[in-house]
Structures are given as structure tokens and as C-alpha cells.
């Protein structure tokens, strides 16, 4: 018990002292996951909007596929991206393996289906609500998407935050394509795994705290957005 208390205090000391190593790891984690979310947003939001307002043969199958991809196991994504960027893979010449870029790609692959599926759901509901009045106004496809995205912006932000939560917390994909190299590709989750196995429990616990604070903050942000939505989204 005493040991645990000491460990706890050590980890708090690391946090309070803004330990250089710890700050570097947290910064890289945020950089990788935020970049992945930005890329996923750029792909997933328009894709979701397209799926929401268009009907084509195989439409239902595509939606089932996207929904299924939401549950992609991170290690499988890691493995697939590893195969793509390793020297023998089609993107081998780019020398991306064990770089933050590879980690961003892997997390983007993981998050894009989540953003796409959530955006599709949100915008489809909104389109059901807006459909007839926009048709009556003679609004075309582009105008329709713009109106839906604007009026659904709070819910879409929630989709992005859900994606970020997934990215920042996963370990399987980044450890395979990043390799957990100190000062290069070490992020919070991979560091926690490593430091725990090495017995450096204080640092692992400190990182765990940061990760949890971020997770709670993201959830709080999602809740706050949901709460403000009735007021501001309608205004």
C-alpha cells in the first residue's frame, strides 16, 4: 500500500514538474491524433454528406460496410498500414515506417469510418427533416449539403470528437507502424505499455493520468456541445 502511495506521489511530481520527457510524449500524441482527425474530417464529412443525400444501387451495402468499419481492430489497421509502408510494400519508397506520418495514416484509417458513419447518420436525419422544404425552395445538391452541414455543425463536431477519443486512446496501430521509438514515435499509449513492462510505473501512471484527463475533457466537451446545441444551433 505504501508503495502505491509513493508511486502515486512520484507520478504527481512528474506531472507537476512538467517533466520534459512526459511533455514530449504528450505533445507527440496530440500532434498525431489531431492530424489524423483533421484528415478523417476532410474525407469523412463530405463522404458522410454524400451518403446521406444520395441514393444509388448498393447504397445500403456501403452504409453497412462503413458502419462495420467503425469497429476495425486497431492492431489489424496497424498491420495493414505496416504492409503498405514497409520496404516491401507499395508505399515503401516513401520510407514512412516508424515515423509519426505512418502513425497519422494508421489513425486516420481507424477514425475515418467513425466520422463518416456518424456524419451520415446526423445529416440523413436532418435531411429527412429539411428535405421537402429545400425541394420546395428549389435548392440544388450543393446548396443542400451546405445547408445540412451548417445546421448540423454541432453534431458533426461531436462526430469529430468521438473520432479523436478513439485515436488518442488506441495503442495497437501506433505501436505497430510507429515502433515506440524514444523521442521519435513514442506516444502516451505506447509509452504506458512500455514503461509498465519496464517497471517505471511512476511515468506510466503519470501518462495514464494525462490520458484520462484528455478523455474526460473530450467527453465533457461533447456533452457541453450537446447541451448548447438547442440554443445556438437553432439561432
Partner 1 sequence: MRESRSVLPVTATGLHIERDGRRLVDVPEFVVSGRALTVILGPNGAGKSLLLRTLCGLVQPDRGRVLWGGGAPSRALALRVGLVFQKPMLLRRSAFANVVYALRLAGVPWRERKGKAMAALDRAGLAALAHVPARLLSGGEQQRLQVVRAMSVAPDILFLDEPTASADPASTGAVEDLVRRAAAAGTKIVLVTHDLGQARRMADEVVFMNRGRVVERAPAAGFFRQPHSAAARAYLAGEIVL
Residues contributing to the site for partner 1 (CB under 8 A): 129-130, 132-133, 135-140, 143, 147, 151, 230-231, 233-235
Contact at 8 Å (CB) between 178 and 193?
Answer: no
Shortest Å distance, C-beta 140 to partner 1:
6
Shortest Å distance, C-beta 76 to partner 1:
39
Shortest Å distance, C-beta 138 to partner 1:
3
How many whole angstroms separate alpha carbon 211 and alpha carbon 30? 10
Measured from the CB atom, is 227 or 235 closer to partner 1? 235
Cell of 112: 475515418
DSSP state of 89: S
DSSP per residue, 8-77 = HHHHHHHHHTT-HHHHHHHHHHHHHHHHHHHHHHHHHHHHHHHHHH---TTHHHHHHHHHHHTT--HHHH
Cell of 3: 508503495
Shortest Å distance, C-beta 234 to partner 1:
3
Amino acid at each position: 500500500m505504501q508503495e502505491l502511495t509513493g508511486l502515486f506521489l512520484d507520478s504527481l511530481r512528474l506531472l507537476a514538474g512538467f517533466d520534459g520527457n512526459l511533455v514530449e510524449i504528450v505533445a507527440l500524441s496530440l500532434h498525431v491524433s489531431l492530424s489524423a482527425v483533421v484528415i478523417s474530417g476532410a474525407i469523412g464529412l463530405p463522404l458522410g454528406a454524400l451518403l446521406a443525400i444520395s441514393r444509388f444501387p448498393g447504397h445500403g451495402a456501403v452504409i453497412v460496410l462503413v458502419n462495420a468499419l467503425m469497429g476495425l481492430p486497431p492492431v489489424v489497421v496497424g498491420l495493414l498500414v505496416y504492409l503498405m509502408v514497409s520496404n516491401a510494400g507499395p508505399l515503401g519508397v516513401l520510407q514512412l515506417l516508424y515515423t509519426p506520418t505512418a502513425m497519422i495514416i494508421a489513425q486516420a484509417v481507424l477514425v475515418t469510418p467513425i466520422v463518416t458513419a456518424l456524419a451520415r447518420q446526423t445529416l440523413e436525419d436532418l435531411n429527412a427533416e429539411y428535405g421537402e422544404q429545400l425541394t420546395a425552395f428549389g435548392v440544388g445538391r450543393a446548396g443542400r449539403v451546405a445547408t445540412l452541414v451548417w445546421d448540423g455543425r454541432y453534431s458533426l463536431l461531436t462526430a469529430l470528437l468521438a473520432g479523436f477519443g478513439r485515436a488518442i486512446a488506441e495503442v495497437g496501430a501506433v505501436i505497430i507502424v510507429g515502433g515506440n521509438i524514444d523521442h521519435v514515435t513514442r506516444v502516451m499509449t505506447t509509452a504506458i505499455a512500455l514503461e509498465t513492462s519496464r517497471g517505471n510505473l511512476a511515468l506510466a501512471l503519470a501518462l495514464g493520468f494525462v490520458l484520462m484527463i484528455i478523455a474526460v475533457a473530450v467527453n465533457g466537451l461533447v456533452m457541453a456541445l450537446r447541451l448548447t446545441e438547442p440554443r445556438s444551433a437553432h439561432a
